[in-house]
Structure 1
Amino acid sequence: MVSPAAAQRDAARDPAATAIPGHSGDGASDPGVVTEALYSRGLDGDLPDFEKRIGYVFGRRDYLRRALTHKSYSHEAKEDNVRHNETYEFLGDAVLGFVIGDLLFQHFPHLDEGALSKMKAYLVSAPSLASKARTYDLGEVILLGVGEEKTGGRQKDSLLANLFEALIAAIYLDGGIHSARQLIERAFSEDIRRIDQQDLLFQDYKTALQELAQARGLLLPDYNVVAEVGPDHDKTFIIEVKLGSLTARGEGSSKKEAQQQAAKQALSEFSGRYGS
């Protein structure tokens, strides 16, 4: 579990936030805060399980309460100071974008801005974020207004995506960027690994290798088919690429895929030999 940052620093970051739902810091009742709200539905008596599920224990649970409060609930609540999570969505989006951008930059040092932007857009898309929210069962614990509840708000991708961003903001406010980054890395590590090993949709290694050659004043990469293995209906192509004195090979079910794999290997070997 990640330890939260000091409560004094947290209070300075979000002075408008209430204390633990239903209570002020000195234990007195906090008027206008819905005491039972945080523990409704999936969090009823299971807050430790929820925190275990997300891998983070909150020092100030009012951050979590606000992250889980949809504007429809806030608008229907009689109390004036039940605040919804839209500004948390804004902050969470910024934190998520920064961390994902940094992870991609570190993981794919040879890709250009266009390829990195495509990968980032995919990872932070509403369907992607909604799937993360479902992983943590966030739809079961969000506080919704009656109308939103009746229209199936707990299953809407857009709502769940925003909710995941709000959760990131709550963790950031409570524990800082390191804590938020840990959640994001856990949530997206498999997606990034899968993109790296399987999905060439977002990665144009041939272009990256060509740009590297031009930047270093080398002749453009030269690709040649060195072997075709297997029957026509299930053929594997082996392609060799030459860049200066460097030679690398790749294979795939098509020449295009084999070229991409060869370029990827060449980039890796070039980096190991000369540095990026």
Structure 2
Amino acid sequence: MHKLLELRNEKLLRQALTHRSYVNENPEFGGDNNERLEFLGDALLTFLSGEYLYQRYPQMEEDEMTRRRSALVDEKQLARFGNEIGVDLRMRLGKGAIREGGFTNPNLISSTFEAVVAAYYLDNHSDINALRPHLQALFDSVPDNIVVSRSDVDAKNRFQQWVLANTGTNPPKYVTIQSGGLSHAPEFLAKVFVGDKEYGEGRGHSKKEAEKRAAVDALAKLKKSGLE
């Protein structure tokens, strides 16, 4: 078993592996799903991947580091990490999610991996140093020639740069809600605002994906208007 799955607090590990579809179908379970842990894990991975790139590539410019960080923590890559440590077959899913191929669903695997990262962090008394060697090993397994083309992976960053350079106001604000889908495959709608003005919207199977799509939509509208 991978070290990230070796927790002293077994209840915390169960929560990290439990999708809300399992909780919905098993009310007697009495535990929480992993969504709050997923939120924390996302923040930890964003920070630690940025720190990793800063230390490993001392000559790399900010723009490329931003794109590489996005590629390191996107859904596809996190799902690969999840498979590598054995998260995929340990997920606790509802029957509906299983019938729909949940054990091979990149969105579910990547979200569960984020939750496991957070659980390991909490299990080690919120000591971020405990995470570093395990995540560094996973980051090291990613080829140096990882695709870092300017695409929607850094759309949020590009839109924020445009806002700060052209409006002089606060950074963009994303408002994201679940707009449909099933319990194991939700769909989210995100809208991006600058002040009270809406600039774009997007949909995705995760909040991060929906926000990226909203930023892509905002940039496309700016380009169409000749403002980008």
Same fold (TM over 0.5): yes
Structure 2 CA distance for aligned equivalents of residues 133 and 86 of structure 1: 16
Matches within 5 A, 1:109-120: 109-120=58-69
Partner of residue 80, structure 2: 131
Determine whether 1:186 maps to 2:131.
no
Out of 85, 102, 122, which is 2:51 matched to? 102
Root-mean-square deviation over aligned CA pairs: 1.8
Aligned to 1:77: 26
- 5+ residue gaps in structure 1? 1-49, 204-276
Quickly say closer, same or farther: Cα 1:200–1:107, change in 2 above 3 A.
same
Change (3 A) 1:97 1:72: same
Q: What secondary structure, in the 3-state scheme, does the structure 2 residue paired with 1:58 have?
A: coil
1:202 Cα deviation from its structure 2 partner: 3.9
Matched, 1:163 2:107: no
Partners of 1:157 and 1:180 in 2: how far apart?
22
Number of residue-to-residue matches in the alignment: 147
Shift of 1:182: 2.1
Letter in 2 for 1:75: N
Q: Which has the higher contact order (CA 8 A, sep 6+)?
A: 2
Cα deviations by residue, 1:10-32 (Å, 9 ceiling, x for unpaired): xxxxxxxxxxxxxxxxxxxxxxx
CA displacement at 1:79 relative to structure 2: 2.5
Matches within 5 A, 1:191-210: 191=142, 194-195=143-144, 199=145, 202=148
Which consecutive unaligned segments of at least 5 residues does structure 2 have?
Answer: 150-228
Which whole-Å deviations, capped at 9, do the CAs of 1:97-126 have from their partners, x for residues lacking one? 111000101111222211001100111111
SS for the counterpart of 1:84 is coil
Work out the CA distance in 1 between the residues paired with 2:56 and 2:15.
34
| Runs of at least 4 residues off by over 6 Å | none
Larger Rg belongs to:
1
